[in-house]
């Protein structure tokens, strides 16, 4: 279990991509048209959805992982600063960088999410696992519940790049995807499967994400996911239709995710069918019908519905 | 903009300014000012009560200054500060922490505003009565007021509280609170016949706060008054256990919103000292208040100081409150 490695390499990928984005297709390296197999291989074990919680807390647990490293962390912060300013002009900021200390704690807590949800319970258990105190998660913004959700979103999103090779080689169900559209579907499906371990907890998470102070960050994550999928699928359009595609993909993904929280069919078959239907509809309508306004509207109403289901009167 | 436009605007501005000023003037006059009793002959116990009364009003005047600087928001900030730290939380499934009960140290804790909230969250909301809180301050008169206020708490919470005199810059020299004034150390008066401040004298220290003994170190609206902030941060790092959390609530810089910042600056540099002079006849204290806030480092610089002291941070390391008028900084002492 060494997540900082995962986040670092993924961060590099994000950087490369964001630097490429403003370029015209003509001068893009041709490898972008057919995504090259990832240069590094994220072990699929690392990125597999978490399905089981680790053994319950054990007092005599003394095989503690290495300690957090301070100097590294300061260095990283300094390196990230200029990057962020650069991107803020054209694109959403890169994934909220998790400091190494934060990543260490969140990745430990993440293993407890299937059993305990995105809660202080999971955070405190994770802290104990790595030899920290019950109070340690207090160092996270707002006590950490939303940070844990962001960790899930970030982790699963960045895992996609490592799975691309397998997906495109046709190792998933349904054979090798050929068109950009098929690849988008395969990638969105792979991402949905990343939710498997936390599906039972996802409605709670949506309720947290719908809190006003978290909405912007949540929408940003969704947009970044759409970016990632379109990029990995080899979509090279740099014209305005790119924004429409991103918006409609975001809408469809969010809807499929909501659908998934109530899906009890084996292997989430119904969710997959739902995803395919919605993507087909969008393709038939030319992909240009869904405006950003509709997308935001959808997210707002989905959030309201979730909150209502939690007993909030809206 | 035309010349008239500018004149109209400045007249409007001046009117708004006066209105706010008047509002606070009324607010102040409503509060009873301390009575002078220097020339009366009073018994020792009466005197003690009255001196305590003066310090109650010192504590009140801290509150009032906080109100002025924060537009009354500081109570909300304190609630948020404590709630987001969630003291006393322990995983239900794993039972109480095998490493012993949580120990919270509230530095510059003065009259207990933060400590009492901590106790309530830990003991009542998180049902964890094992949590202990130490309130520490350099001014034992403030602590004496805090101790008096604590008598209204449930007995179990009072039992979990302790009061310690210490300078935050050196926590290896402390002593348990000697109530102020005490029969052992009669209060002295300065050249003008005023009661002297009851600051802790390290020469009288009898104990210390051990290294690696604290889970949560808090300091609210105190750190900007310290003369050596890096020394205080080093001490925080020393007394915290590995995995322990440093948390600071302090006035900060609202300069991310230029317009709001301009108004806020105007308010703090012009109105507040004026109010202090007109109403409390104490321009200097209010001037000091404003200047100490201005001198305090920016959010990022202070975050870097925390990192330099050996802490690790999450995200940006701080959270702005009300547009940056105040900020919460947090850091964790990593495992060695
Ligand atoms: C504005 S009060 C804050 C009281 C309380 N924490 C609150 O939030 O209301 C500032 C406190 O800092 C204390 N203080 C100032 N310098 C100090 C130092 N070097 N060490 C410890 N306490 C100090 C003062 O005595 C005073 O009680």
Asked whether the predicted pLDDT for residue B120 surpasses 70, the reply is yes
| pLDDT interval class at B256 (50, 70, 90) | confident
| H helix intervals, A21-99 | 44-47, 70-87
Between A255 and A29, residue with greater pLDDT: A255
Q: pLDDT of B279-332, one tens digit each? A: 777 788 788 888 888 899 999 999 999 999 999 999 999 999 988 989 999 999
Does some domain include residue A83?
no
Q: Residues of B annotated as binding site for S-adenosyl-L-methionine?
A: 111, 137, 167-168
* Residue A60 counted as domain residue: no
Does B97 fall in a domain?
yes
Strand partners, A116: none
Q: Is there a domain that residue B162 lies in?
A: yes
Question: With an 8 Å Cβ cutoff, are A67 and B334 in contact?
Answer: yes
Q: Hey, what's the torsion of the CAs at B2, B8, B10, B15, to 10 degrees? A: -170
Tell me the nearest-neighbour CA distance from A224 into chain B, angstroms.
Answer: 18
Q: Does A260 lie in the same domain as A294?
A: yes
In short, whether B56's Cβ falls inside 6 Å of ligand 1 is no
Same domain, A148 and A209: no
Instruction: Tell whether B182 is covered by a domain.
Output: yes
Same domain for A112 and A258, yes or no, is no
pLDDT per residue as tens digits for the range B173-221: 999 998 876 655 555 555 555 555 578 888 889 999 999 999 999 999 9
Is A257 domain-assigned? yes
Structural domain includes residue A103: yes
Average pLDDT, chain B: 83
pLDDT at A278: 87
If asked whether residues A209 and A231 sit together in one domain, one would say: yes
Query: Between chains, do A143 and B93 touch, taking CB under 8 Å as contact?
Result: no
Under DSSP, is residue A28 helix (H, G, I), strand (E, B) or coil? coil
Whether the model clears a pTM of 0.95, i.e. scores above it, the answer is no
Average pLDDT score over residue span B239-262: 92
Pair A289, A152 in one domain: no
Q: Residue B38 falls within a domain, yes or no?
A: no
SS3 content of chain A, % helix, strand, coil (to 5): 65, 0, 35
Chain length of chain B: 336
pLDDT band at A32 (very low <50, low <70, confident <90, very high): very low
- Specify if B279 maps to a domain: yes
Q: What is the pLDDT of residue B200?
A: 87
Ramachandran assignment for A52, one of left (phi > 0), alpha (psi -120 to 50 degrees), beta (any other): beta
Report the range of poorest mean pLDDT among A12-21, A168-177, A180-189, B231-240.
Answer: A12-21
Mean pLDDT computed over B259-267: 87
What pLDDT was estimated at residue A301? 63
Q: CA distances (Å), A93 to each of A14, A85, B115, in order? A: 11, 8, 38
Is the per-residue pLDDT at A68 higher than 80? Answer: no
Residue A127 and residue A176 in one domain: no
As a whole number, mean pLDDT of residues A258-282 equals: 89
How close are the terminal C-alpha atoms of chain A, in Å? 42
Contact call for residues A194 and A156 (beta carbons, < 8 A): yes
Three-class secondary structure assignment of chain B: CCHHHHHHHHHHHHHHHHHHHHHHHHHHHCCCCCCCCCCCCCCHHHHHHHHHHHHHHHHHHHHHHHHHHHCCCHHHHHHHHHHHHCCCCCCCCCCCCCCCCCEEEEECCCCCHHHHHHHHHHHHHCCCCCCEEEEEECEHHHHHHHHHHHCCCCHHHHHCEEEEEEECCEEEEEEECCCCCCCCCCCCECCCCCECCCECCHHHCCECCCCCCEEEEEEECCHHHCCCHHHHHHHHHHHEEEEEEEEEEEECCCCCCHHHHHHHHHHHHHHHHHHHHHHHCCHHHHHHHHHHHHHCCCHHHHHHHHHHCCCECCCCCEEEEHHHCEEEEEEECCCC
If you count residue pairs, one on A and one on B, with CB atoms under 8 Å apart, how many are there? 116
Residue of B92, B243, B313 lying closest to A133 (CB–CB): B243
Q: How many Å lie between the centroid of ligand 1 and the Cα of residue B109?
A: 6
- Judge if the beta carbon of residue B221 lies within 6 A of ligand 1: yes
pLDDT above 90 covers what percent of chain B?
49
Task: Please state the φ and ψ torsions of residue B314, each to the nearest 5 degrees.
Answer: -115, 145
pLDDT for position B128: 95
Which of A117, A136, A159 terminates a domain? The answer is A159
Locate B69 and state its tokens: 């600087």
Cα–ligand 1 centroid distance for B137 (angstroms): 6
Residues A150 and A171 in one domain: no
Paired tokens of A258: 């909501």
Do A139 and A283 share a domain, yes or no?
no
Dist CA A148 CA A162 (whole Å): 21
Q: Which of A113, A137, A159 is the last residue of a domain?
A: A159
Lowest mean pLDDT among A300-304, B22-26, B105-109, B322-326: B22-26
Task: Note whether residue B24 is domain-resident.
Answer: no
Least trusted range by pLDDT, from A58-62, A245-249, B25-29: A58-62
**Which residue in the block uniquely carries the two structure tokens 């299937």?**
A114
Q: What is the mean pLDDT of residues B50-55?
A: 55
Q: Are both A181 and A142 inside the same structural domain?
A: no
Which has the minimum average pLDDT: A161-165, B40-44, B74-78, B99-103?
B40-44
Q: Is residue A70 part of a domain?
A: no
Question: CB distance B94–A96 less than 8 Å?
Answer: no
Closest CB to B102: pick one of A120, A132, A134.
A134
pLDDT of residue B289: 83
How many domains are there within chain A? 2
**CA B3 to chain centroid:** 46
CB contact under 8 A, B84 and A142: yes
Cα–Cα dist A235/A249, whole Å: 12
Query: Final residue of a domain: which of A139, A159, A179?
Result: A159
B142: containing domain: 51-332
Closest by CA position to A189, among listed A210, A171, A213, A207: A171
Give the residue from B313, B327, B333 with the most A CB atoms within 10 Å of its CB, the best one to mutate: B313
Q: What is the DSSP string of A207-248?
A: HHHTSGGGHHHHHHHHHHHHHHHHHHHT----STHHHHHHHH
Residue B200 corresponds to which tokens in the numbers above?
A: 């802790």
Q: Running DSSP on this structure, what letter comes out for residue A114?
A: H
Q: DSSP state, A92?
A: P
Q: Is B323 inside any structural domain?
A: yes
Q: How confident is the model at residue B273 (pLDDT cuts 50, 70, 90)?
A: confident
SS3 of residue A308 by DSSP: helix
Tell me if B165 CB under 6 Å of ligand 1.
Answer: no
3-state secondary structure of A136: helix
- Residue span of the structural domain in which A147 resides: 96-159
> Which residue in the set B90, B330, B336 is minimally distant from A134, CB to CB?
B90
| Distance separating alpha carbons of residues A6 and A155, to the nearest angstrom | 8
How many structural domains does chain B have? 1
In a domain, A134, yes or no: yes
- Distance between B245 CA and the closest CA of chain A, angstroms: 6
**pLDDT score, position A112:** 96
Asked whether the predicted pLDDT for residue B31 surpasses 60, the reply is no
Quick one: A166 exposed, middle or buried, by C-beta within 10 A (0-12, 13-18, 19+)?
Answer: middle
Q: Does B18 map to a domain?
A: no
pLDDT at A81: 35
- Write out chain B residues lying below 8 Å of A57, CB-based: 91, 93-94
Ligand 1: distance of its center to the CA of B250 in Å? 11
Q: Average pLDDT of B55-74?
A: 76
Range in A78-92, A160-174, B183-197, B318-332 with the lowest mean pLDDT: A78-92
**Residue A234 counted as domain residue:** yes
CA dihedral for B41, B47, B51, B54, sign (positive or negative):
negative
Q: Which residues of B291-327 are buried (b: 16+ CB within 10 A; e: fewer)?
A: eebeebeebeebbbbbbebbbbbbbbbbbbbbebbbb
Shared domain for A142 and A264, answered yes or no, is no
Q: In what order do the strands lie in the sheet with B170-176?
A: B170-176, B161-167, B132-137, B103-107, B214-220, B240-251, B326-332, B318-321
Segment among A53-57, A107-111, B80-84, B283-287 with least mean pLDDT: A53-57
Q: pLDDT at position A13, please? A: 40
Residue B89 has pLDDT above 80, yes or no: yes
Please compute the mean of the pLDDT values over residues B105-114 and round it to a whole number: 93
CB atoms under 10 Å from CB of A61, counted, come to 12
Atom of ligand 1 nearest to the CA of B78: 8
Give the burial class of B198: count Cβ atoms within 10 A of its Cβ; 0-12 exposed, 13-18 middle, 19 or more buried.
buried
- What CATH code is carried by the domain that includes residue B88? 3.40.50.150
In a domain, residue A154? The reply is yes
Q: Taking all residues of chain A, what is their mean pLDDT, rounded to a whole number?
A: 69
State the pLDDT at residue A288: 44
Predicted confidence (pLDDT) per residue in A290-310, tens digit = 444 454 555 566 666 666 665
A294 and A193 belong to one structural domain: yes
In the DSSP assignment, the letter for residue A50 is P
Comparing C-alpha atoms, which of A171, A8, A4 is closest to residue A104?
A: A4
Longest dimension (CA), chain A: 60
What is the per-residue pLDDT for A179? 79
């Amino acid at each position: 279990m060494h997540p900082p490695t995962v986040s670092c390499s993924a961060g590099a990928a994000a950087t490369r991509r964001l630097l490429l984005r403003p370029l015209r297709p003509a001068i893009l390296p041709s490898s972008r048209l057919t995504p090259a197999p990832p240069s590094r291989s994220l072990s699929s074990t690392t990125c597999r959805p978490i399905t089981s919680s680790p053994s319950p807390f054990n007092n005599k647990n003394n095989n503690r992982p290495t300690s957090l490293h301070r100097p590294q962390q300061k260095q990283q912060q300094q390196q990230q600063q200029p990057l962020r300013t650069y991107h803020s002009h054209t694109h959403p900021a890169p994934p909220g960088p998790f400091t190494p200390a934060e990543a260490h704690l969140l990745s430990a807590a993440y293993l407890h999410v299937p059993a305990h949800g995105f809660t202080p319970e999971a955070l405190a258990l994770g802290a104990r696992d790595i030899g920290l105190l019950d109070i340690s998660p207090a160092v996270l913004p707002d006590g950490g519940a939303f940070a844990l959700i962001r960790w899930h979103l970030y982790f699963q999103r960045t895992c996609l790049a490592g799975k691309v090779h397998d997906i495109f080689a046709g190792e998933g169900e349904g054979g090798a995807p050929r068109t950009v559209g098929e690849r988008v579907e395969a990638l969105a499906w792979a991402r949905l499967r990343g939710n498997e371990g936390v599906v039972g907890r996802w409605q709670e998470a949506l309720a947290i994400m719908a809190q006003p102070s978290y909405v912007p960050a949540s929408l940003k994550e969704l947009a970044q996911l759409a970016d990632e999928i379109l990029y990995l699928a080899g979509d090279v359009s740099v014209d305005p239709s790119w924004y429409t595609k991103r918006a409609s993909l975001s809408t469809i993904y969010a809807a499929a995710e909501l659908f998934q929280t109530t899906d009890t069919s084996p292997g989430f078959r119904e969710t997959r069918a739902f995803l395919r239907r919605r993507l087909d509809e969008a393709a038939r309508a030319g992909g240009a019908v869904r405006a950003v306004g509709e997308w935001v509207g959808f997210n707002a109403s989905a959030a309201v519905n979730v909150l209502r289901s939690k007993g909030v009167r809206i | 903009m035309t010349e008239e436009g500018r004149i109209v605007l400045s007249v409007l501005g001046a009117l708004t300014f006066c209105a706010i000023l008047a509002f606070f003037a009324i607010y102040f006059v409503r509060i009873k000012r301390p009575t002078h009793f220097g020339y009366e002959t009073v018994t020792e116990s009466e005197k003690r009560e009255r001196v305590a009364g003066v310090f109650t009003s010192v504590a009140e005047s801290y509150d009032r200054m906080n109100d002025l600087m924060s537009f009354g928001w500081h109570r909300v900030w304190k609630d948020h500060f404590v709630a987001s730290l969630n003291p006393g939380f322990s995983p239900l499934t794993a039972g109480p922490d095998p490493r012993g009960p949580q120990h919270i140290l509230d530095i510059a804790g003065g009259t207990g505003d933060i400590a009492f909230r901590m106790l309530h969250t830990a003991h009542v909301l998180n049902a964890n009565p094992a949590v202990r809180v130490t309130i520490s301050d350099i001014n034992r008169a403030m602590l004496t007021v805090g101790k008096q206020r604590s008598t209204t708490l449930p007995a179990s919470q009072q039992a979990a509280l302790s009061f310690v005199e210490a300078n935050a810059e050196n926590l290896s020299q402390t002593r348990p609170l000697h109530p102020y004034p005490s029969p052992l150390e009669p209060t002295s008066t300065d050249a003008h016949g005023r009661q002297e401040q009851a600051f802790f004298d390290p020469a009288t220290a009898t104990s210390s706060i051990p290294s690696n003994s604290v889970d949560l170190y808090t300091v609210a609206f105190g750190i900007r008054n310290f003369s050596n902030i890096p020394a205080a941060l080093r001490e925080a790092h020393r007394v915290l256990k590995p995995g322990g959390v440093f948390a600071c609530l302090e006035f900060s810089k609202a300069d991310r919103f230029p317009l709001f910042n301009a108004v806020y600056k105007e308010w703090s540099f012009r109105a507040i000292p004026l109010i202090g002079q007109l109403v409390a006849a104490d321009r200097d204290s209010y001037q000091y208040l404003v200047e100490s806030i201005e001198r305090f480092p920016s959010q990022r610089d202070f975050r870097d100081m925390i990192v330099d002291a050996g802490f690790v941070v999450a995200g940006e390391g701080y959270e702005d409150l009300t547009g940056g008028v105040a900020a919460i900084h947090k850091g964790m002492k990593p495992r060695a």
